[in-house]
Amino acid sequence: MVGDAILARTILALDTPNLGQACEWVQQYRERVYAFKIGGALAMGHGLPIVRMLREAGATRVFLDLKFHDIPHAVALAVRQAAEFGVWMLTLHCGGGSAMLQAARAAVADLPSPPLLMGVTVLTSMDADALREVGVPRTPRAQVLRLARLAHAAGLDGVIASPWEARMLRRRLPPPFLIV
């Protein structure tokens, strides 16, 4: 059984398209986990009002993991909308570049409690061959570091990292930059 101390730092993924199931998980775990993550299936099936529904079910922190990646203006509008629905944290794909990341930061800068903006560097499904296929001549580890530094320079709050890169990133990007 997972210890309470570990659960208290856990973000539980609501990886289901079923709203009833997601609300049931929130009610079951709301006192034990730190936050709840909404991915594409739940967000596309129910739209951003799902954030309010989950908060009403007891989720105090909702993490929207849609990895925004578009032109800066479009991302800024999307990030602002997510913030207005009460999202606690959201993801942006760092491959969108510094202008996109900075536009996202500017879009929520005037809010009293803006969401945490977290960069996604390299998807864990991508190896060196997959990176070469899309024109990236670096190893996954080198590309993760490159994009994490870009996220840091653009003013993001942190990055989402696999366990294989978290320690390396922490050595190079000290707090308050977050590694989740």
Catalytic residues: 67
158 alpha-carbon distance from chain centroid? 9
The Cα 140–Cα 129 span in angstroms is 9
The answer to whether 159 and 148 have CB atoms below 8 angstroms apart is yes
Helix (H) or strand (E) holding 168: helix 163-172
> Around Cβ 127, how many Cβ atoms within 10 Å?
12
> Please, are residues 177 and 158 in contact by the beta-carbon 8 Å criterion?
yes
